[in-house]
Structure 1
């Protein structure tokens, strides 16, 4: 009787290992696809020039001219009020701005959102760095800078010379900012 159970239990064991193996392969494939999807795509020709030539409204109606940020390192962060990782990283960006502005660093938040939502949000969580209302033009610039899918958050580091040094799809970490600050 023991012999008749052995092949059956062996089949169950094989099925479990097969199921676990297939599950592991699917997880690895999904993780690989997610990593590929979160990688910025190539920057389009003329994208940086288009950014430096752009002007946006600020939350209070003031003009935010991107050319005014040339000549110093710039962290440009594309975000929205409805994006939880965006909202989570804003205090980190605000601290980075406070700690590094004396060293010449700049931070600009380009909100890809409705102006009224941004204004309400900034009343609850004021930011010390400039915020621009990007709208569709901001989305187009993000795509030209390699964010083809339009995912948020998306951050681009520009050197003082206006060239792109780093880009990241997804939420920034303190470690990202620490490494990026050593780039210059």
Structure 2
């Protein structure tokens, strides 16, 4: 092997590594933005994603007939209560097929402390990428960039770490 071939290989491998690392960094930096939507809560209050800038936001798609949703609800309530004064917000979006009266009854019965909406027309389901499984959760940073999408039950330890990281 000649010196020029060895020299080229010596520089080529680190250069390729640097290019791959830079490409990965660009992909990580380009997290999807929150959709530009406005939620209408069960009590008629309008909350836009834009108005939630500055907060870590969890948008949780759920249904009253979803065992995983019901199982995680007490921990979601506790997490909300623990972090609501630390710029954390939860919007619980009930699926279009969920009977509105059932959503309202569950919300009152469990005294859900966060905003709840019924997505009767499926607008939120579409805006968030055609959500069709519950529970599905999206976590957004204070700049509206998606940090996480979880299909299935949330890992609340991981969620709490994300919330705490955003507060720093």
Report the TM-score when normalising by structure 1: 0.64
Let me know the Cα RMSD of the aligned residues. Answer: 2.1
Does residue 125 (structure 1) correspond to residue 125 (structure 2)? The answer is no
Q: What residue in structure 2 maps to residue 175 of structure 1?
A: 157
CA–CA distance in structure 1, aligned partners of residues 48 and 134 of structure 2: 22
**Structure 2 unaligned runs (5+)?**
1-31
Larger Rg: 1
Aligned length: 133
CA–CA distance in structure 2, aligned partners of residues 110 and 70 of structure 1: 19
CA deviation map 1:72-113 (0-9, x unaligned): 111111111111111111111111111111211111111113
SS of equivalent residue, structure 1 residue 74 = strand
CA–CA distance in structure 2, aligned partners of residues 158 and 179 of structure 1: 13
**Structure 1 unaligned runs (5+)?**
1-46
1:85/1:170 contact within 8 Å kept: yes
Q: What residue in structure 2 maps to residue 3 of structure 1?
A: none
Q: What residue in structure 2 maps to residue 111 of structure 1?
A: 94
Report the TM-score when normalising by structure 2: 0.70
Q: What residue in structure 1 maps to residue 81 of structure 2?
A: 98
